[in-house]
Structure 1
Amino acid sequence: MGDETAHLPAIPRLEYHSSDGWQVEENNHPIEEVRLTVDPFDNPKLPASTFRAWLLGVSSCVLLSFINQFFAFRTNMLVISSVCIQIVTLPIGRFLAATLPKKDIKLPFTDWSFSLNPGPFTMKEHCLITVFAGTGAHGVYSVHLFTVVKAFYHRKINLMAAFLLAHTSQLLGYGWAGIFRKYLVESPYMWWPGNLVQVSLFKALHQKENRKRGAITRFQFFIIVFISSFAYYAIPGFIFPAISAISFLCLIYKKSVTMQQIGSGLNGLGFGSFGLDWSTVAGFLGTPLATPAIAIFNIMISFFLKVYVLLPITYWTNTYDAKRFPMISSNVFDSYGNIYNISRIINGKTFTLDVQEQENYSKINTSIIFSFGYGLSFATLTASIMHVALHNGKDIWKIWKNDREYSTDKLQDVHTRLMKRNYEPVPQWWFHLLLVSMIGLSIFTCLGFNRQLQLPWWGVLFACAMAFSFTLPFGVILATTNQVLGLYVITEYIIGLILPGKPLANVTFKTYGSISVGHALTLLSDLNLGKYMKIPPKSMFIVQLTGSIIATCVHFATAWFLLNTIKNICDTSKLPPGSPWTCPVDSVHFTVNIIWGLVGPKRIFGKLGHYSLLNYFFLIGFLLPIPFWLLAKAFPEKRWLKHIHIPLLISGGNAIPPVHAVNYIMWGTVGIFFNYYIYTRHKNWWAKHTYVMSAALEAGVAFMGVLIFFSMQFKNINGIDWWGGYANDYCPLASCPTSPEVSVKGCPITQ
């Protein structure tokens, strides 16, 4: 088991063993995967919330919050996960355990005291540090709101309004988590399969590792890969950025629009395009090394069908006048093929839609990939509901039946019994107080500051009602199938119909109604992880709450600093060549806000817009899982049918834009190589090194990227002025329209 469990006796059946503080019981968890992964014992004497845990936890939270927000504005964004911190903090924690003085520190004016060094570094401390880091790894959605306002609409937003929106939207979900934690955490049938990966990694890291002659340990491997990644990223990050996306067809066919559309990895189909940069691999889609091979295959099939089948057919048949606009773009366009002049249809005083001016000017048009991307989003929502109903409906029904009997304690598994026996639960009033205070503060945020956020008080309550309604069903689905559903499109659609022409009201409603559900599920997942790792519930709750507050402050401050110090940030027309501050994700959020908030769904997806037929995708998505489910039932011997995941096949390739084709190509290539080929041929190597390598690659890129920024780019030194010194795949014609009726500067006129 590792240093702290080496003396553990053999597991008896239904026995309470208290020697050295260990309590061991029969592993009666009803889910086999949990029985095989999570240990059925606990030692409540092992420290968890220690000085070391808070020191490393807070530091990790601040570091990840800053790095992830910093990279979020860059062309090749990078998301550093808590797995990186999970790897790095293990040797640091053991170093602190070996060097810190073993003395108690008394807090002034109180009777409280704590030890700087309570003994060996424990797995429980490590778990709390990782949870702390996880709060920093997750982004703060409201940052996109004030980024869009400041960098795209070029308007001011009240600092305090933006700050309060960030905090209230992050913490509101914790109230929903408290209401539903009995069903989603204490029930043994809510087993949260995603947490089993974390538990497995903790156990692997804390096991004693006997190094064979000529071999290296996991930590030595981490250091080697980290140094290599750190040194190498100086090349794509500063010296030779062009290797991030190399598109051979564009270098050969320099005057052909069609060939550049086919070959561009950034603005086209990416045929033959590749990149030699880890941020190209993992920047948008996350590390492929932590994604199961089955999921990778589903996602890559989805990418292939969307980019190499649906996109060419719809574009070259000129569906929705596709040839008037770029094949792939996150911008919106007018009827003449020009980028839509948003300032022309905004009432400058009220920051709302000028309906008459919009009717005089032009309807909203999007690139063909963006419009069908929304259709696929509609289909994903309904397909997810049908897929879960078909494949997991019986299990979910059993869960509801069993949970009605839960109050009798007949369904308590070994982990719940150990937690109830050893630790005091979080009082329910903590959650209620947080919920009520956040709802009140949210209403104040929307009604105050000259009502700049445009959402009325009833809009906040409506958003809360939607979040309350969906937290439990979405939580059941996530906790049993590991499938994440989102309310983004539905919240945007509904409030866009109710309050059309108010862009800030739309994104504020989405933030309170959809994002708070995500935060509720994050907290519930962490509480379940704490149950598996036997972390005191109060310690877990306090760490999550504190981490969320710290992370929100750091994300907010970093974004505000960059938006106010980098000239023309996010404006690709005014940025110097090679500048990385192109904000691809926020560009998409801007387009989304125009569609749903400023103009409204009625004028785009309704009878007043071009794209009303896309509403049929709701029905298509609802019906599509049925035939595949019937096939799997009819031919059980065909195992590959069970691996067809319709929601993933619909949505897997739907991240374009802002994700580029080259990102998918490299992500899928690396993921399939390691998680299929290496996993099947060299499983021992894969088990020992894959997660460690992923963390080391992420950390190396992150630290070099920050070093380059503060030493060079902060002083407007963006790179070396030569052919390879620009983050460009040299496919300028890939973004050209091909309709002879449209003339764009720099593009040939197609006959």
Structure 2
Amino acid sequence: MSSEKGSFAPLHDEKPPVAEDPVAPIPHFPSENKGDIKDELNAIETDAGSLEEEKLEESLRLVPKVVRELVSMEDDPTLPTVTFRYFVLSTFFVSLGAVISQIAWFRTTSASYSMFFVQIVSYWLGNLMARVLPSWDVNLGFIKFNLNPGPFSIKEHVLITLAASAGATSNLGEIIVSVKDIFYKEQMHPLAAICLMWATMWTGYSFAAIGRNFLLYDPDLIWPSALMQTALYRTLRSEGHSLEYSKKQIRVFWLVLIGVFFWSFLPEYVFPFTSSLAVLCWFAPHNDTIKFIGSGFGGMGFLNFTLNWSNITSTIMVSPWWTQVISFVAFVTSVWVLIPIVHFTGVWNGNRFPLMSNRLFTSNGTSYPFTKLTDSEGKFDEVAFNELGNVYMSTYNLWGIFFGYATFLSAFVQIFLFGRKKIWATVQHLRQRRSHGFKDRLNVLMSAYDEVPLWWYILLFTCCFTTMLVLIFTQDLYLPWWTYVIGVILGAMTVVPMGFIYAVSAYQVSTGTWNELIYGYMAPGTHPVGSLVYRVVAGQCWYRAQSILLDQKIGHYMKVSPKATFLSQLWGNLLGVPINYAVIRWVIDTKRSYLDGTEKDPLGQWSGQAPQSYLNQGIQYGLVGPTRLFRDEIYGPLRWGFLLGIAAPVLMYLLHKKFPRAKFHLWHSTIFFSCMENFYGYISTGPLSSFIGGFFCMYYFFRYKHATWVKYNYLVGAAADTGLSLTILAIFICFGSAKIIKMPYWWGNDSDSVEKCYGSGN
């Protein structure tokens, strides 16, 4: 049984539940020579014990070293899971996180609602409830439970966090609801909006069934983010370490959390100057060229540093070093190389439109009046389009589309070339056994629990599919129903290749541009919102599938029943979505002028960058359509992105075969192209600081101070994210909820430029 802290108990003399190769039966011996028989029996028992030890050692060797260092290899199936404490605490943390995360979606930069904060606070609250609640049996007729079934178990703890991870987030339907309201003044009925959010999110859950056997059980797919949370669980409960060791970890955790909490008030509210240290501007603050090169807010951000953790986040402590190198090289190529070339030469019409803007323009550079392109029924107005002319964008956005085309094709070619053997081995396992056939220690332990039945996923998908069809026919979603069906099919096909990349690199690839293109050819001239609905289904839903699989990997590492994990995820969504909708309404009602571009937020945080970006692509592909769009020669080079997406991974594969020690397989073209697709136009102040931090965390300490890395890396990242999340929440509650309280003007929050990059016009 568990200790008072609910940690895993050792299995004592119990043999591990190995399903295959049982101990051979003892043979029948004749009655004579009983002494010899006894010796032979003892020898057989010794051999059987040795066999079990060998099998155990072999199953441990199949687990990667970094996983063995951070994950317990023992289990206690008797620990309580879904309890009264679980429902109380999961409700609280889901509700809190749904507010914070939905606010963060509208901001330009922010750290997500930290699951580490949930892990820590739920641990202490759970133990508090275990101490103070009476051990009463409650009978409500349809259900019986005990208020306090004993010590707060680690499995309760995990399920609370998984419920929060599923429900305490922004959701996919926000794209549709927000764009309709902000830019077209079309407010969906609250019930329809909430059902839309549930349906799109749970479609992603059903997609997860496709990738489970390929991505979840393979021990070599470590899912770095899952390891980070697992490390914190064990630290909190002093599991596997001495008490003094754990006390040091907790002390460091709290010091970092408190330090980041108080520090973050400076860049986020009191002293915004610290959020973007534009070094070049300090020497020539009134020079336009220096402002363009050095500014991190709307400029290149060259040699620009940040002291704001929201521009860095714990990604630098989770993503493998090779992933961070690729991301930074892509940033340098995009922002420090291509942007100045385009800016100073005007190539690819770079001087016609504001380079660092993500908005749409007419041919003369004025803002495009996109609302005039739709008639009263939301259909494309050909006459208005001929009068206004084609839709144009900055050259920065053009190469983002170019690399977006390359990203999607590259992902499939990449996984075929580098991952086909592993996927085929998994298929062979599935053919040999009813369930997955991996024999590592973790999978052996998890074989004691029933898997989630496939029909659960099928039923969930059927309900979501039906709901979406009803909404398409009854609400103004502007989407032909048959395109929705195609979007579902293409989205399901994407789960495994994109999930494979995420499982090994902690990097989530974007495919939105590709999906918009497909929709544009299928249904040109439809309302932009219809394009976004398709995008959510064909692309965003598999993003949700990846996050669900990530949480299920955490459950796998912590030996939690797959059924309990799955139901906890559904419970979190059931609670979180209505709260998401309420926050969307609050943000739009109070920040509309910033979000729609009527006014400019001086800190650049309420820029409406996310909804504006989605709207732009909806207009280009759904409303105008790629056929009309590509008539203009400015869009001609974009088609070469398809060829690049195929050629690049082939080249890397050939180089890897020719020079296997050069590690060309780590130069992941899909991640590079996806990073090139990122828009850094508003905030380019974080990548350099992130790269430096990542070097120390994931290269120097991982390679040369590995014991320190194991002890503190994930812990410090969790503490920093938690401190930032608490700061954002405190600022929201104290200064931005009931009454807006602005920071008084002083040198550190200059309304003209918090970076002191004024240019010649100021």
For residues 500 and 309 of structure 2, the distance between their equivalents in structure 1, rounded to whole angstroms, comes to 35
- Give matches, 1:509-658, under 5 Å: 509-566=534-591, 568-575=593-600, 577-578=602-603, 580-604=605-629, 606-608=630-632, 610-638=634-662, 640-657=663-680
- Give matches, 1:362-381, under 5 Å: 362-381=389-408
Q: Is the alpha carbon distance of 1:254 and 1:324 closer, same or farther for their aligned partners in structure 2, counting shifts above 3 Å?
A: farther
Please name the residue that 1:742 is paired with.
none
Please name the residue that 2:29 is paired with.
none
For residues 645 and 606 of structure 2, the distance between their equivalents in structure 1, rounded to whole angstroms, comes to 36
Please name the residue that 2:372 is paired with.
344
For residues 479 and 693 of structure 1, the distance between their equivalents in structure 2, rounded to whole angstroms, comes to 22
Please name the residue that 1:59 is paired with.
92
Partner amino acid, structure 2, of 1:626: V
Partner amino acid, structure 1, of 2:201: Q
Q: Is the alpha carbon distance of 1:651 and 1:11 closer, same or farther for their aligned partners in structure 2, counting shifts above 3 Å?
A: farther
Aligned-residue offset at 1:375 = 0.7
Please name the residue that 1:671 is paired with.
694
Please name the residue that 1:122 is paired with.
153
The reply on whether 1:354 has 2:357 as its aligned counterpart is no
Please name the residue that 1:442 is paired with.
468
For residues 536 and 702 of structure 1, the distance between their equivalents in structure 2, rounded to whole angstroms, comes to 30
Aligned-residue offset at 1:474 = 4.3
Aligned-residue offset at 1:63 = 1.6
Would the aligned equivalents of 2:206 and 2:458 in 1 still touch at CA under 8 Å? yes
* 1:229-254 Cα distance to aligned partner (Å, 9 max, x none): 22222222222223212323335434
Partner amino acid, structure 1, of 2:391: I
Please name the residue that 1:104 is paired with.
136
Aligned-residue offset at 1:505 = 0.8
Would the aligned equivalents of 1:238 and 1:720 in 2 still touch at CA under 8 Å? no
Q: Is the alpha carbon distance of 1:372 and 1:474 closer, same or farther for their aligned partners in structure 2, counting shifts above 3 Å?
A: closer
For residues 470 and 728 of structure 2, the distance between their equivalents in structure 1, rounded to whole angstroms, comes to 39
Partner amino acid, structure 2, of 1:77: S
Partner SS for 1:333: coil
Partner amino acid, structure 2, of 1:436: T
- Give matches, 1:304-323, under 5 Å: 304-323=332-351
Partner amino acid, structure 2, of 1:588: S
Would the aligned equivalents of 1:89 and 1:126 in 2 still touch at CA under 8 Å? yes
* 1:459-498 Cα distance to aligned partner (Å, 9 max, x none): 3222222233333554556557766444422321111112
Please name the residue that 2:524 is paired with.
500
For residues 112 and 191 of structure 2, the distance between their equivalents in structure 1, rounded to whole angstroms, comes to 27
Would the aligned equivalents of 2:213 and 2:436 in 1 still touch at CA under 8 Å? no
For residues 290 and 217 of structure 2, the distance between their equivalents in structure 1, rounded to whole angstroms, comes to 57
For residues 588 and 733 of structure 1, the distance between their equivalents in structure 2, rounded to whole angstroms, comes to 27
Aligned-residue offset at 1:580 = 4.2
Aligned-residue offset at 1:378 = 1.3
Would the aligned equivalents of 2:274 and 2:307 in 1 still touch at CA under 8 Å? yes
The reply on whether 1:662 has 2:722 as its aligned counterpart is no
Aligned-residue offset at 1:730 = 5.1
For residues 626 and 179 of structure 1, the distance between their equivalents in structure 2, rounded to whole angstroms, comes to 27
Would the aligned equivalents of 2:277 and 2:305 in 1 still touch at CA under 8 Å? yes
Partner SS for 2:150: coil
Partner SS for 1:114: strand
Would the aligned equivalents of 1:584 and 1:658 in 2 still touch at CA under 8 Å? no
For residues 117 and 572 of structure 1, the distance between their equivalents in structure 2, rounded to whole angstroms, comes to 53
For residues 478 and 582 of structure 2, the distance between their equivalents in structure 1, rounded to whole angstroms, comes to 24
Please name the residue that 2:725 is paired with.
702
* 1:189-210 Cα distance to aligned partner (Å, 9 max, x none): 8765654444444334433554
**1:207 equivalent among 219, 238, 246:** 238
What TM-score results when the alignment is normalised by the length of structure 2? 0.86
Would the aligned equivalents of 2:356 and 2:681 in 1 still touch at CA under 8 Å? no
Give the count of matched residue pairs: 720
Q: Is the alpha carbon distance of 1:334 and 1:529 closer, same or farther for their aligned partners in structure 2, counting shifts above 3 Å?
A: same
- Give matches, 1:143-222, under 5 Å: 143-178=174-209, 181=212, 185=216, 195-208=226-239, 210=242, 212=244, 217-222=248-253
Would the aligned equivalents of 1:240 and 1:726 in 2 still touch at CA under 8 Å? no
Partner amino acid, structure 2, of 1:672: F
The reply on whether 1:332 has 2:332 as its aligned counterpart is no
For residues 371 and 635 of structure 1, the distance between their equivalents in structure 2, rounded to whole angstroms, comes to 35
For residues 604 and 296 of structure 2, the distance between their equivalents in structure 1, rounded to whole angstroms, comes to 18
The reply on whether 1:718 has 2:751 as its aligned counterpart is no
Q: Is the alpha carbon distance of 1:83 and 1:264 closer, same or farther for their aligned partners in structure 2, counting shifts above 3 Å?
A: same
* 1:665-701 Cα distance to aligned partner (Å, 9 max, x none): 2222222233333434443333223322222222222
* 1:601-637 Cα distance to aligned partner (Å, 9 max, x none): 2233x23563122111111121112333322322233
For residues 627 and 577 of structure 1, the distance between their equivalents in structure 2, rounded to whole angstroms, comes to 45
Aligned-residue offset at 1:503 = 0.6
Partner amino acid, structure 2, of 1:9: H
Please name the residue that 1:458 is paired with.
482
For residues 224 and 309 of structure 2, the distance between their equivalents in structure 1, rounded to whole angstroms, comes to 28
Please name the residue that 2:458 is paired with.
432
Would the aligned equivalents of 1:31 and 1:191 in 2 still touch at CA under 8 Å? no
Q: Is the alpha carbon distance of 1:472 and 1:305 closer, same or farther for their aligned partners in structure 2, counting shifts above 3 Å?
A: closer
Please name the residue that 2:414 is paired with.
387
Q: Percent identity?
A: 26
Q: Is the alpha carbon distance of 1:312 and 1:96 closer, same or farther for their aligned partners in structure 2, counting shifts above 3 Å?
A: same
Partner amino acid, structure 2, of 1:241: P
Partner SS for 1:44: coil
The reply on whether 1:9 has 2:47 as its aligned counterpart is no
Structure 2: unaligned runs, 5 residues or longer: 23-51
* 1:699-740 Cα distance to aligned partner (Å, 9 max, x none): 222223222233323423232123432574457778xxxxxx
Partner amino acid, structure 1, of 2:749: G
Partner amino acid, structure 1, of 2:404: S
Would the aligned equivalents of 2:11 and 2:76 in 1 still touch at CA under 8 Å? no
For residues 321 and 481 of structure 1, the distance between their equivalents in structure 2, rounded to whole angstroms, comes to 36
Would the aligned equivalents of 1:30 and 1:189 in 2 still touch at CA under 8 Å? no
Please name the residue that 1:276 is paired with.
307
Aligned-residue offset at 1:439 = 0.9
- Cα RMSD of the aligned pairs, angstroms, is 3.3
Would the aligned equivalents of 1:578 and 1:719 in 2 still touch at CA under 8 Å? no
Relative to structure 2, which stretch is displaced further, 541-550 or 152-161?
Answer: 152-161
Partner SS for 2:137: strand
Relative to structure 2, which stretch is displaced further, 3-12 or 663-672?
Answer: 3-12
Q: Is the alpha carbon distance of 1:291 and 1:106 closer, same or farther for their aligned partners in structure 2, counting shifts above 3 Å?
A: same
- Give matches, 1:291-306, under 5 Å: 291-306=319-334
Would the aligned equivalents of 2:429 and 2:436 in 1 still touch at CA under 8 Å? no
Partner amino acid, structure 1, of 2:401: Y
For residues 671 and 476 of structure 1, the distance between their equivalents in structure 2, rounded to whole angstroms, comes to 23
Would the aligned equivalents of 1:72 and 1:78 in 2 still touch at CA under 8 Å? no
Please name the residue that 1:739 is paired with.
none
Partner amino acid, structure 1, of 2:309: W
Would the aligned equivalents of 1:178 and 1:431 in 2 still touch at CA under 8 Å? yes
Would the aligned equivalents of 2:293 and 2:299 in 1 still touch at CA under 8 Å? yes
Would the aligned equivalents of 1:106 and 1:114 in 2 still touch at CA under 8 Å? yes
For residues 321 and 240 of structure 1, the distance between their equivalents in structure 2, rounded to whole angstroms, comes to 38
Greater C-alpha radius of gyration: 2
Q: Is the alpha carbon distance of 1:572 and 1:29 closer, same or farther for their aligned partners in structure 2, counting shifts above 3 Å?
A: same
Partner SS for 1:145: helix
